[in-house]
A = this chain, B = another copy of it.
Amino acid sequence: MHYQKLLRIPTTGKSLYNITPKIEAIVAESSVEIGLCTLFLRHTSASLLIQENADPDVLLDLANFMAKIVPESAKYIHDAEGPDDMPAHIRTALTHTSEHIPINRGHLVLGTWQGIYIWEHRQRSHTRELVVHISG
């Protein structure tokens, strides 16, 4: 069985947005008991990440690390879309365009400390399209 849904997720600036409850809801809707949930982000300047859901400081440190390793102040050839565009592409390349979580007994098998995030790398507001694909 293959079940697919498109989500439109508004973002308002560079940040990690926790989408775990949205994905859990779609898994419940699918009625799949054992299977695989694949998330696919239709963009190249925002990415997906599974990371710590407890201490928000972890997300701050992640963002600070990315800001340091892929600086917006560096010189890029592709600079017509603003200083945060090329760094957004690189930060996306270093993280993930898709994430995958098995389903067991109708629930994602996420660990206790794992949350699913969209990592928005652009400063201006966007609507990001996420395809949720469930096979079971």
Listed in ascending order, the chain A residues whose CB lies under 8 Å from chain B are: 2, 4, 34-36, 38, 40, 42-44, 49-52, 55, 57-58, 60-62, 64-65, 69-70, 76-78, 86, 89-90, 92-102, 104, 109-111, 113-114, 129, 131, 133, 135-136
Contact = CB atoms under 8 A, between A and B. Distances in A.
Contact of A114 (B43, B50, B70, B109): B43
29 contacts: A36-B38, A36-B133, A38-B102, A40-B100, A40-B102, A43-B114, A44-B51, A44-B52, A44-B114, A50-B97, A51-B89, A51-B92, A52-B89, A58-B86, A60-B78, A61-B76, A61-B77, A61-B78, A61-B89, A61-B90, A62-B89, A62-B93, A65-B90, A69-B69, A94-B94, A98-B101, A100-B100, A102-B133, A104-B131
Contact of A2 (B35, B51, B99): B35
A44 B111 contact: yes
Given A51-B93, A93-B95, A97-B99, A40 B109 contact: yes
Contacts of A109: 40, 42, 131
Contact of A77 (B43, B57, B131): B57
B100 A58 contact: no
B49 A93 contact: yes
A22 to B, nearest CB: 17
